Amino acid sequence: MFQRGFLAGAMVGLISVGVGCVAEVDGGGDEEEPAESALALRALNDLTFNGTYLNGTQLNGVRFNGVRFNGVRFNGVSLNATTLIGTRESDGAPVDGIDFLGAEAEAILGDGSTLAVRITGIAQRNGLTYYTVKYLAAPGIWANVCGEGLGAIPVNGTWDPVTGAFSDDGSSFTFACQGAVIAKCAEWGYRDWATRAECDGKTCASRDLSYFHQACIRMVRADYCGDGAPHTQPGTAIDVWDALGIQTQTAGSGMSLEAEWTVDGAACIRHTRWRGLGGSNPDHDYVMAHCPERWAGSDPSCGGSSSTFHTASGFTTPLAARRILRNASFTMNVSPL
C-alpha cells in the first residue's frame, strides 16, 4: 500500500497542559500537526499520510469507569471493536453506540492530570465508530480535541507519550484521532481487536492483529530503535505491506525496502527514510549510536526469503518476536532542516 499526503492548514488550538505528542529527541524530525486532511484520511488504500505524531490529542487515555451522562454514571464501560458499551449505574440498563451521545468522560493527559471531555457526535464508516470528542476550551466554548471536522476512534490501552510503548491493563482506552498514527494504522486494516487467518499450506492459525497495529505505529513514525524517537517527516511517501494480505506491495513505486518491523521497532534497516544535507545522515548515526544491531548491513534475511516476515519462514515464530511488516521508501529524501 502506497502512502503519502499533505497537511491541512487550519488547526484548532489545544490547551497548553499535558503532552499528547512525543517529546523532541535527538534524531527526530518535526512533530506532525494534530489534524490532517480528513479527505485524504478516508482513502484507506490510496493516498494518505506518514508522520511522527503519536496521537492527535493531548489525551493519553480515558478511564473505562470514568464515564457519565447527564449526571448518571455508567458502570463497566468497555469496547466492542471501536464501539463503547456499558451499563447504566442507576438501573443496570445496557448502553452502547448512540447512547453515549452527550456522555462526559474523565480523560488523562500526558502529565497525569485529568480533563473532562464530552462526546458530541458519533458516526460509523468502514466498520469503525468515530466519536467527536470535545473539551472545554473557554467558558461556554467546547473545542474538538482532534481538530475541526475530525473524529476519534477508541482503541484499547494507552501509549507512553515519550517512548511510544503500549500498555493495557483493561481499565483505559485511547481516543485516537484521525490523522495521527494510532488511528491511521487502524484505518489501514491493522485493527487491534481483530484477528486474521494465516495458512502455511498444511494448517491455519489465527493471528492477533494487535501485534500488527503496534508494529505499524513504530513503522509509520520510523521509530527504528523502538525507543519513541521518530525519524520521519509529515507527508513522506512510504509503501507498506504484510504477509496476511491486509496491505500489499505496490508494483513500480520506485521505492526500495527500508526496514522490516516488529512490535519493538525495526528488526532490520536497509536505509533511513531521510538524509541530511551535504551527505550527512543523522538518522543513521542515531541508529548506530542507540541500536546498531538493527542495521541490516550484509544480512541476507533482511528483505530475503528466509525472513520470518514470510509465512514459510515465520509461521511458528511468536508474533511478539516476528518481523510482521515491511515498508519501502525513496532513498534520496533530503531533510530541509
Which cell goes with 33? 500537526
What's the pLDDT tens digit per position in 236-253? Answer: 889 999 999 999 999 888
- Backbone conformation region of residue 124, classed left if phi is above 0, alpha if psi is from -120 to 50, else beta: beta
Q: Average pLDDT, stretch 33-43?
A: 28
Q: Give the model's confidence band at 66: pLDDT under 50 very low, under 70 low, under 90 confident, else very high.
A: low
Q: Average pLDDT, stretch 93-118?
A: 82
pTM of the shown model: 0.81
- As a whole number of Å, the end-to-end CA separation of the chain is 28
CA distance 178 to 146: 7
Predicted confidence at residue 41, as pLDDT, reads 27
What's the pLDDT tens digit per position in 180-223? Answer: 889 999 999 999 999 999 999 999 999 999 999 999 999 999 99
DSSP state of 4: -
Neighbour-count burial for 96-116, b at 16+ CB within 10 Å, e otherwise: eeebbeebbbebbbbeeebbe
Q: Give the model's confidence band at 10: pLDDT under 50 very low, under 70 low, under 90 confident, else very high.
A: very low
Report CA 16 to chain centroid distance, whole Å: 23
Q: What percent of the chain has pLDDT over 90?
A: 42
What's the pLDDT tens digit per position in 267-321? Answer: 999 999 998 877 889 999 999 999 999 999 888 999 999 999 999 999 999 999 9
Q: Give the model's confidence band at 29: pLDDT under 50 very low, under 70 low, under 90 confident, else very high.
A: very low
